[in-house]
Amino acid sequence: MASAELSRRGFLHVSFAAAGGLVVSLYLDPRSVVEAQEAPLPPQQPKVYPPAAFVNIRPDGKIVIQVNRLEFGQGVQTSLPMVLADELDADWTNVIAELALAADVYKDPMFGIQMVGGSGSIAHSFQQYRELGAKTRAMLVAAAADRWSTTPDQCRTEASVVHGPNGKSATYAELASDAARKPVPATVRLKNPTEFRLVGKKVKRLDSAAKCNGSLKFGLDLDLPGMKVAVVAHPPVFGGRVKRIVDDEARRIEGVRDVFEIPLAKGTGVAVVADKFWPAKQARNLLKIDWDVTGVEPADSSELWTKYRQLGQTVGNVAVSNGDASALDKIGAANRIAAEYEFPYLPHTPMEPLNTTVRFDGDRAEAWAGSQFQTGDQMAVAEVLGLKPEQVTFHTEMAGGGFGRRAVTDSHIQREAAVIAKRLRGTPVKLIWTREDDVQGGYYRPMHFHRVEVGVGPNGLPAAWRHVVVGQSLLIGTPFEAFAVKNGVDQTAVEGASDTHYNIPNLHVSVHHPKVNVPVLWWRSVGHTHTAFVMETLIDELASRAKIDPIAYRRQLLKPEAKKLLRPLDLLEKAIAGWRNRLPRGHALGISCHESFGTGVACAVDVSIENKRPRIHRATIAVDCGLAVNPLSVESQFQAGLSFGLSQLMAKGAITLKNGVVEQRNFDGYVPPYIVDAPVAVDVHIVPSTEAPTGCGEPPVPVISPAVVNALARLTGKRYRTLPLVNI
């Protein structure tokens, strides 16, 4: 977004912080106007900035940068400040990054809400943070130029110092007060990429040391004076309601304060409030609750599979229909492949159990949560408490993982916490979901069934492709429906298939969205989690059938404009040349490529079978993400993201339901990848690019499962179309 556009869409607001620093803000929402808030901060009020503040240059030289989205492992708390600091020419060793409160000014410039997801942190805020840095620098330079009676073009900046003619210099800290009085420039020159000092370089994370010595506080670690802890007993079937509570034993646990029924997003539950977690949990274990589950559908996995398989035999709502829909039928049976795929419900299970803390003071409230959806969560808390959103100070806490689980349109966790806090007015309440609550609590990646029929042309490439997807819609019935659901097709269920970059003639993709009584949610890379698996295993099968090298086949089949896949494929081919033909006996190569969220990835794995499981000795990744803002972060995201993606293959990697009840309870029943399941080594190669940066949060996930399974297919001759992989 060019700077000139900025002045039309919003304006820069500047104010003083009580300590006399420069506070610069940038407001980009075209829909409303910010009122200037010139009231000085009361000195005792910690960590409360005016609603529009991104950069605070303190008198001690520290530069505090507000990050407009949650840090939950992806490294945004380092990379966005890095971008700002680069344009600002700040001394990086004196930069402190903080996660911003929920406020209008911190909304994602593309989506208009404060959130993190869709791998959009860098993609959406890169330009924004560059301009924030550049404009702040411009104002500092203007102040220095004034002071020295010279002009800005006679000054240069480096490491938080402005240098003027005749050896003059002044630190940013010294200039901050004067700079704050300067007008905010409407336009500003941004650095030429060759001038970057940080962007494009491997910059280590700012939060490492604190995460390695136990000092960094996550939401679950919050401790406030007088705080109580709450746990909630949820119905065993989604939407069930409390009929009767017997709580005399529970109340006798020392430290238990209260036991009462609360409304849930669906149905009702029972809250237990105690001084500390252990008595709360003990008390909940002692509750005897009669549940009313009449009128709620008891979802059952095996029944659902039968229904889904049936639906998959018929055409659904059409997502795309290119060419001749009947072309497939004209191709003889000998040249047709039919494949059916099954994908189970998946839980996110981020390492930090879900939690939210709320204190309700009557006319105000305060909330703390590692939230991926601050705007919505703040509104939800306000609604429950009968307040306006701006009456709720909503703190964004550092989060122990998310993968989409902390971005929920119904804000159900925050609502539970607010309901409890309302009853305990004046007392902060920390709501904790135990791991059992998490594993059994819903909001899963939906289960999906795919049926694909491919007609193979004489050259071995697909000549027709009929694809039916069956799975619950994520967005029908939510505020996002208007954006992503058209003609009954939820794009998030077919992305990666209906918009494939393969040049497949006569492509027909349709979808059925059954309604099921299981809450569902996006799981890191969303629709690509299952569509990429289908596409990349089928493409691989076709390549094998045609006896064409899997990389060459893909190169041949991709559309010429699919540069973000073609370039990584080329880079991958070079990167694996050294090892692909020197695999030991019992090892096989697996290839995949997939583009998601604007980033193209090619993947190669070296796999053998050990103890009846796939052993991934090595993974090589080639990625085109445009300009890699922090190549170290890109490398980390891929090395680790592949391991996350392997969740889909784990033998006990599924949620199943029987008569409405989730069968898994904790990490004994749902088992994610441990170190032995992860690739031993991952090398990452980034396609050099100066194009606009695209995200790397989700793109690692879709490629790994099909690559591994493609390697297994070479070893065993079997095709794996049912996940998770229980038997190899």
Q: Does 614 bind another protein (CB under 8 A)?
A: no
Q: Could you give the CA distance from residue 666 to residue 645 in angstroms, rounded to a whole number? A: 19
Minimum CB separation from another protein for residue 620, in Å?
A: 12
Q: Which is nearer to another protein, 153 or 254 (CB)?
A: 254
Binding to another protein in span 172-211, by CB under 8 A: 204-205, 207-209, 211
| Binding span for another protein by CB under 8 A among 82-90, 181-189, 494-502, 642-650 | 642-650
| Binding span for another protein by CB under 8 A among 241-249, 379-387, 398-406, 482-490 | 398-406
Q: Does 667 bind another protein (CB under 8 A)?
A: yes
Question: Applying CB under 8 A, which of residues 680, 688, 691, 692 lies at the interface with another protein?
Answer: 680
The crossing angle, in degrees rounded to 10, of helices 528-545 and 700-716 is: 40
**Which token pair is 224?**
């406030």
Q: Does 720 bind another protein (CB under 8 A)?
A: no
Neighbours of 313 (CB within 10 A): 11
Question: Applying CB under 8 A, which of residues 9, 189, 276, 330 lies at the interface with another protein?
Answer: 276
| Binding span for another protein by CB under 8 A among 20-28, 57-65, 434-442, 579-587 | 434-442
Q: Could you give the CA distance from residue 84 to residue 132 in angstroms, rounded to a whole number? A: 6
Q: Which is nearer to another protein, 208 or 306 (CB)?
A: 208
Question: Applying CB under 8 A, which of residues 399, 421, 557, 713 lies at the interface with another protein?
Answer: 399
Q: Which is nearer to another protein, 581 or 611 (CB)?
A: 611
Site string for another protein, 237-256 (x = CB under 8 A): -----------------xx-
Binding to another protein in span 337-376, by CB under 8 A: 349-353
Amino acid at 590: G
Neighbours of 337 (CB within 10 A): 15
User: What residues pair up with 144 in beta bridges, in sequence order?
Assistant: none
Q: Which is nearer to another protein, 217 or 718 (CB)?
A: 217
User: What residues pair up with 466 in beta bridges, in sequence order?
Assistant: 453, 508
- Number of alpha carbons in the 13 Å side-chain half-sphere of residue 2: 2
Question: Applying CB under 8 A, which of residues 640, 661, 715, 728 lies at the interface with another protein?
Answer: 640
Helices (H), 98-227: 121-147, 172-180, 208-212
Residues found in the chain: 728
Q: Does 278 bind another protein (CB under 8 A)?
A: yes
Q: Does 449 bind another protein (CB under 8 A)?
A: no
Minimum CB separation from another protein for residue 635, in Å?
A: 9
- Give CA torsion, residues 483, 489, 493, 496, to 10 deg: -90
Amino acid at 635: E
Q: Does 288 bind another protein (CB under 8 A)?
A: no
Q: Which is nearer to another protein, 349 or 414 (CB)?
A: 349
| Cα 100 off chain centre by | 17
Question: Applying CB under 8 A, which of residues 48, 159, 246, 676 lies at the interface with another protein?
Answer: 676
- Exposure string (b/e) for 54-91, b if CB count within 10 Å is 16 or more? bbbbbeeeebbbbbbbbbbbbbbbbbbbbbbbbbbbbb
Residue among 603, 596, 525 nearest 564 (CA): 596
Q: Which is nearer to another protein, 54 or 403 (CB)?
A: 403
Minimum CB separation from another protein for residue 223, in Å?
A: 6
Q: Could you give the CA distance from residue 62 to residue 282 in angstroms, rounded to a whole number? A: 46
Q: Does 441 bind another protein (CB under 8 A)?
A: no
Residue among 616, 321, 576 nearest 468 (CA): 321
Minimum CB separation from another protein for residue 121, in Å?
A: 14
Radius of gyration of the chain (CA): 27
Asked whether the beta carbons of 238 and 660 are under 8 A apart, the reply is yes
Q: Which is nearer to another protein, 577 or 675 (CB)?
A: 675
Minimum CB separation from another protein for residue 316, in Å?
A: 34
Q: Which is nearer to another protein, 72 or 720 (CB)?
A: 72
Q: Which is nearer to another protein, 433 or 502 (CB)?
A: 433
Phi, psi of 38 (to 5 degrees): -90, 0
User: What residues pair up with 263 in beta bridges, in sequence order?
Assistant: 268
Asked whether the beta carbons of 374 and 114 are under 8 A apart, the reply is yes
Q: Does 216 bind another protein (CB under 8 A)?
A: yes
Residue ranges in contact with another protein by CB under 8 A? 72-75, 204-205, 207-209, 211-218, 220-221, 223, 254-255, 276-279, 282, 285, 349-353, 398-403, 434-436, 632, 636, 639-644, 646, 666-668, 672-676, 678-682
